[in-house]
Amino acid sequence: MNRTPRRRSGFTLIEVLLAMALLVVVLAGVYAGLETFRRVTTMGRDAATEQQLVRAIRSRLLTDVRSLRFAPPRALPDETSADDSGDDPADLASAASSASSSSSGAEPTEPAEELFPVPQVGVTGDAETLTLYTALPPRGIADEVTTGPAARTSDLRTVTWFLAGRGGAVSSGVAERDGEGLARSEGDTAAVALAEDTGDLPGLTDAARLLAPEVTGLSFRYFDGAEWVTSWDSSLTGSLPRAIEVTLEIDLDGAPNPYATGQELGNRGPSVTRLVICPPLSEPSAEALL
């Protein structure tokens, strides 16, 4: 009995290649979908993290600005004695006649009042540093910037905002200890002034704390009621700025940023956020009113 051999069922080489190509296309589509989902999720998470960071910085800065203490410039005491009983009657008569003639004629011109600036009040700052003289709730002074080992109670505080790693010796010292980023220093006003006069760099550095290493850029501007300026000193202007503009550059990916060097690695570049804070009871300076 003759039996015809059966053909074995199977796939040809072309079918196998087509199946593999189709599988590659499907896997590529799945990977693209997962990558898109990852990017959208990461962007949403980064945006939420950035907004939370900005809100925290703004809240801390608002607390400091609302605690500002300010006193307008004082007038210098008049050196002319009001109680002068030994005046000559002729001089008194001459003064009376001149007063009557001035009242009948043109209006007399009052001499300009010389003002004495009040130091260590209000706002002092430039484009990179903001110093606020505040009156915070009294507490025992236990920070590193102190005039002696005994703790004392004071509500006069000097608060300084700056970018660690940019600027002077204190900024460099904070960057070496904690890294670069947004930093804030707080200390007793008298003790900080003494430390600055004596060059107590370790004490000034210890009073500073790194707040946000994600902040890679920081700048300040001050509005005097007419225009924005890059520096302010309340002891010279005799007023508080109408508004303080704070520009933050935030890079959640950290420095160095690949966008700055032209080597994009799939992360986003730094974002710039502008905050405008108005000090309470501020009035335009004399120059802005002219």
Distance of alpha carbon 220 from alpha carbon 162, whole angstroms: 10
pTM (predicted TM-score): 0.67
Mean pLDDT of 133-141: 67
Highest mean pLDDT among 67-76, 90-99, 174-183: 174-183
Distance of alpha carbon 118 from alpha carbon 70, whole angstroms: 9
Distance of alpha carbon 240 from alpha carbon 82, whole angstroms: 34
pLDDT for residue 126: 93
Mean pLDDT of 35-40: 82
For residue range 97-124, what is the model confidence (pLDDT) as tens digits?
Answer: 444 444 344 444 444 455 555 667 889 9
Look at the block and give the residue holding tokens 């903001």: 130
Distance of alpha carbon 183 from alpha carbon 165, whole angstroms: 10
More confidently predicted of 10 and 256: 10
Mean pLDDT of 85-90: 48
Structure tokens at 8: 């074995």
